[in-house]
Amino acid sequence: MLSRIARLRTAALAAALALTALAGCGSSGSTASNDKAPLEIWVRKPPGSNTEKTHQSLAAAFTAATGVPTHVTALFDDFETKLQQAAAQKKLPDLIVNDTAQLGTLVKQGLVREVDRAALAGGDRLVPAAWDAAKGADGRYYGVPFSAQTFALFIRRDWRERLGLPVPTSWDQLDALATAFTTRDPDGDGKPDTYGYVVPGSTKRGYLDWYFSSFLWAAGGDYFTGSPDHPKPAVDNPGSLTAARWLQKQFCADKSVVPGAVTTETTQAHPLFETGKGGIYFTGPYNLARFDKSLGRDKYEIVALPPGPAPAGKPAVLAEGENVYLMAGSHNPAGQRKFAEYLIGVDGQRLGMGDTDGNVVRLPVNRDVDLAAVRTDERWQVFDKAYREAGRYVPVMPEWTPFRQASAEALNSLAADCGTDPKAALGKLAGAFAAELEKQGAGS
């Protein structure tokens, strides 16, 4: 039987052949290389947002430095669907900036080309851990790290202080705070209209699993166990069950989650925190500027996620970010590489950072960039510390999306139906994981 790595290398060869089929991508249909051909760049950002404007500034600065024309298109809703449509029409963009978790899918579909890490100018200046986000399941690189991030608890400080409760340092204290926010009228308006947790619990794009993963690891749970070449499902181990029971408890027993969470996406969750519906939101540093403006910096605080319950609990938090992907069939492969090199260089990283809601580099991947020297906001240090000391990327799989989606659906059932047994649900999920591993040729 072929080893997992051998199967993955066979799959990589198939993807390479797919790249050849896509070589005609582009309006002219010509496959000739032209190092001055315009670069079409897609970014997964809301159109008209300040983050789109920052990407436009980055592209303009690159053009000024190199003479290579660029055009930035911001897409947010159904980004992946629109990318598939462009591939079908042989009109892929030259580059995209998208989530690190999309790497496996892009590789499997043959939409991106391999990156020679050693030949990339400035690649040796990146934080070593950042490269993990660009590594495929076959050990090769199919993206260039651009931005890293992790997550922390955004807590209504004014509510907490009004109720005389401490900054939570354990899950028990965190849950007690959530219950108090739900039952003790923390905003003082005399109405039972506040809750503890804001949770993006939708199954769309696997949102609930994305939210839950940090709690899973912090409780001592995991997605897989075993060696990278022979992974085995671990979503039903004792730590995973602890985390799943904790999640269901907030929805069903404590009722400390803002209603409607089971269909809430992140764009719908943000307003729930800033308008005072919920007082605890586990989210990323990209919301700092937004909430400072809409809520007021003095009204909330940033707190690292505490370790999970003993005996298996430990510090852990999801690490992710965005990669620059060099798409198949570009007329300007040299320009693709140069643009990626610009984004990871000191100038590109600094331009992408800032204390405004337009930042697109959350935590720099270039180790020559000092976060504190660029950002005066000390709250970013909480995220930086969490990333460096407790950050974990999702498992490297040929395609991670099916696992995330299956997990989100299982967790959503626990939240939506309080009669669902967590142990049975996770056992069924482990079976689905095993089947998916076999399907992807990633099992033993």
What is the chain's pLDDT, residue by residue, as a tens digit (444 residues)? Answer: 345 544 544 444 444 444 444 544 443 344 567 888 999 999 999 999 999 999 999 999 999 999 999 999 999 989 999 999 999 999 999 999 999 988 988 998 999 999 999 999 999 999 888 898 999 888 899 999 999 999 999 999 999 999 999 999 999 999 999 999 999 999 999 999 999 999 999 999 899 999 999 999 999 999 999 887 789 999 999 999 999 999 999 999 999 999 999 999 999 999 999 999 999 999 998 899 899 999 999 999 999 999 999 999 999 999 999 999 999 999 999 999 999 999 999 999 999 997 677 889 999 999 999 888 888 899 999 998 898 889 899 988 888 889 999 999 999 999 999 999 999 999 999 999 999 999 988 865
138 with 160, same domain: the answer is: no
Give per-residue burial for 54-69: e unless 16+ CB within 10 Å, then b: bbbebbeebbeebebe
Q: Are 139 and 12 in contact (CB under 8 A)?
A: no
203 with 289, same domain: the answer is: yes
Q: Are 284 and 386 in contact (CB under 8 A)?
A: no
33 with 168, same domain: the answer is: no
Q: What are the distances in angstroms from CA 428 to CA 64, 223, 434, 440?
A: 55, 13, 10, 19
Closest CA to 340 of 38, 39, 30, 36: 39
| Secondary-structure percent of the chain, ordered helix, strand, coil, rounded to 5 | 45, 15, 40
The encoded tokens of residue 75 equal 């897409």
Residue 127 domain flag: yes
17 with 115, same domain: the answer is: yes
48 with 99, same domain: the answer is: yes
333 with 384, same domain: the answer is: yes
411 with 386, same domain: the answer is: no
| Residues in CB range of 400: below 8 A, 6 or more apart | 101, 104, 105, 394
Q: What are the distances in angstroms from CA 108 to CA 14, 241, 331, 362, 369?
A: 9, 31, 22, 28, 33
138 with 36, same domain: the answer is: yes
The encoded tokens of residue 358 equal 């337009």
Q: Are 253 and 419 in contact (CB under 8 A)?
A: no
* Gyration radius of the chain over CA positions: 22
Distance, C-alpha 335 to centroid of its chain:
27
Residue 29 burial by CB count (10 A; 0-12/13-18/19+): exposed, middle or buried? exposed
Closest CA to 424 of 434, 416, 413, 435: 413
pTM of the model: 0.80
CATH number of the domain bearing residue 201: 3.40.190.10
Q: Are 350 and 54 in contact (CB under 8 A)?
A: no
32 with 43, same domain: the answer is: yes
Number of separate domains in the chain: 2
Residue 444 domain flag: no
137 with 157, same domain: the answer is: no
Residue 119 domain flag: yes
386 with 423, same domain: the answer is: no
Domain residues for the domain of 203 are 152-318+399-439
Residue 376 domain flag: yes
Q: How many CB atoms lie within 10 A of CB 347?
A: 15
Residue 99 domain flag: yes
